[in-house]
Amino acid sequence: MKTPLMNIETITEYNDMLGVETLHPEVSMIDLSKARPMHHMRHTFSFYAIFLKDEKNCDLIYGRKRYDYQKGTVVCLAPRQVIGIEDTGEEFQPHGYALCFHPDLIRGTHLGRHIGEYSFFSYEVNEALHLSERERTTIVDLLEKIHEELEHAVDRMSRRLLVTGIEMVLDYCLRFYERQFITRQPANHDILTRFETLLNDYFTGDNARQNGLPTVKYCAGELCLSPNYFGDLIKQETGRTASEYIQQKIIEQAKERLLIPATSVSEVSYGLGFQYPQHFSRVFKRATGMTPNEYRNKTEA
């Protein structure tokens, strides 16, 4: 029988569960090897959490997927994301580090205004960041500086320095994810090829007419990736967003179909998945500088 899903509301509540001192109500940096032994559980947080796992001593279910931790793995969670596995009745000693910070800490700051740029908070667990030894050392050094600041007496610079420290951790995660995309280029090229095939197949037959325009979310799901990871991968590989890539494919298909004799603009529009021909005409003109009829007449002239 599954245990109820637990939501951990506050940093203090999480610290108490782990048996560590709360130095600040809105941010905590925890050396998990110094925490008390725990039981497994499925839970969510009401705050952001970054886990650097050092040892492969447990697996984890994040969302609906199981993932085996390897040394030097980073998983980032946004509030309300489900993490954990069912309680097996056995205790285990966690290892690694956890950086937790409440949205209230960053509200009104540069980080608060730009937190959405750190798209890895919405990656699936199988899209986690795997660090080299040097990268791991960099992250641990930054985490330890945050802990040093937490132990410092509170003054007017405390919040700024804490938020700056967290932002540096996130920026380095961005850098290391870019390295990971580059080192996985053969696999990424395979995904790009599958993406191209997926789009070609989508516009074959009545798929688009029945289901509408293909979306980034749909394509990511068909390729077994989260939308954010998929979007970042496509941008890294092509220099274009996934939405731009899909739109280019739509325009290429439109150009081919507009040159089929006796095919109306409306038929082309509906065949590509547009609900209204007017929408198709606006998208086509924005992309080519011509209306569909102008393109057809120019090409046939």
Spatial contact of 87 and 142, defined as CB atoms under 8 Å apart = no
Question: What confidence category does residue 294 fall into, taking pLDDT thresholds of 50, 70 and 90?
Answer: very high
pLDDT of residue 88: 67
Is the full-model pTM beyond 0.85? Answer: no
pLDDT of residue 68: 41
* Pair type for strands 129-130 and 73-77: antiparallel
Angstrom CA distances, 205 to 13, 147, 202, 273, 296, stand at: 55, 59, 8, 11, 23
What is the full DSSP assignment across the chain? -PPPPEEE--HHHHHHHHT---S-TTEEEEEGGGSPPEE--EEEESSEEEEEE-S---EEEETTEEEE--TTEEEEE-TT--EE----S-EE---EEEEEE-HHHHTTSHHHHHGGG-GGGGS-GGG-EE--HHHHHHHHHHHHHHHHHHHSPP-TTHHHHHHHHHHHHHHHHHHHHHHHHHHTHHHHHHHHHHHHHHHHHHTSTTHHHHH-S--HHHHHHHTT--HHHHHHHHHHHHSS-HHHHHHHHHHHHHHHHHTSTT--HHHHHHHHT-S-HHHHHHHHHHHHSS-HHHHHHHHH-
Spatial contact of 139 and 172, defined as CB atoms under 8 Å apart = yes
- Which span out of 14-18, 39-43, 90-94 was modeled with the highest average pLDDT? 14-18
Question: What confidence category does residue 31 fall into, taking pLDDT thresholds of 50, 70 and 90?
Answer: very high
Residue 152 has pLDDT above 80, yes or no: yes
Residue recorded with tokens 């289901």: 211
As a whole number, mean pLDDT of residues 292-300 equals 85
What b-and-e string marks burial along 160-174, b requiring 16 or more CB atoms within 10 Å of the CB?
Answer: ebbbbbbbebbebbe
As a whole number, mean pLDDT of residues 134-140 equals 94
Question: What confidence category does residue 110 fall into, taking pLDDT thresholds of 50, 70 and 90?
Answer: very high
Kindly report, residue by residue over 112-126, the tens digit of the pLDDT. 999 999 999 888 767
Kindly report, residue by residue over 59-109, the tens digit of the pLDDT. 444 444 444 445 588 989 889 877 765 666 777 787 899 999 999 999 999
Residue 18 has pLDDT above 70, yes or no: yes
Looking at every residue in the chain, the average pLDDT score rounds to 87
pLDDT of residue 300: 65
74: which 2 tokens? 């980073």
Single-letter amino acid, residue 58: C
Residue 2 has pLDDT above 70, yes or no: no
Kindly report, residue by residue over 172-216, the tens digit of the pLDDT. 999 999 888 888 777 778 888 889 999 999 998 788 999 999 999
Single-letter amino acid, residue 74: V
How far is it, in rounded angstroms, from Cα 281 to Cα 106? 43
